[in-house]
Amino acid sequence: MYASIRKGNIKAGTDVAEVVSRIKTGALPILNDIPGFKTAYVVHGDDDTFAAISIFADRAAAEQSNALILDWLRQNLGQVLAGAPETLVGEIVAHQ
């Protein structure tokens, strides 16, 4: 299995509930349509940081997810992002 991880910040004062709603109705369905998709988690951390962790059956699907979601972010949340998100794709080497 492979993971795709994206991490970024939203601008101070941004409506967090609106960001979460857009992610649920826009980004998550995109992931669900990628063959090999297993699950996804979105985490809202301190200092308006968001992280998304998506799990896929293979590396190609994980890489495809980053391309699709980064494009979606630019189009749908670009005005509230505080810079470009960081991304990582890699093999899951341990889990419990």
pLDDT at 47: 85
Whether 69 is covered by a domain: the verdict is yes
Domain count, the chain: 1
Q: CATH code at 56?
A: 3.30.70.100
What sign does the CA torsion over 31, 39, 90, 47 have? positive
What does the block give as tokens for 93?
């080497």
Note down pLDDT in tens along the chain; length 96 residues: 999 999 999 999 898 899 999 999 999 999 999 999 999 999 999 888 999 999 999 999 999 999 999 999 999 998 999 999 999 999 999 999
**DSSP per-residue codes, 11-30:** PTT--HHHHHHHIIIIIHHH
Residue 10 one-letter amino acid: I
d(CA 70, CA 54): 13
Whether 80 is covered by a domain: the verdict is yes
Helical segments of 9-91, H only: 16-22, 28-32, 59-76
Domain span at residue 43?
2-91
Residue 8 one-letter amino acid: G
Whether 96 is covered by a domain: the verdict is no
What pTM value is reported for the model?
0.90
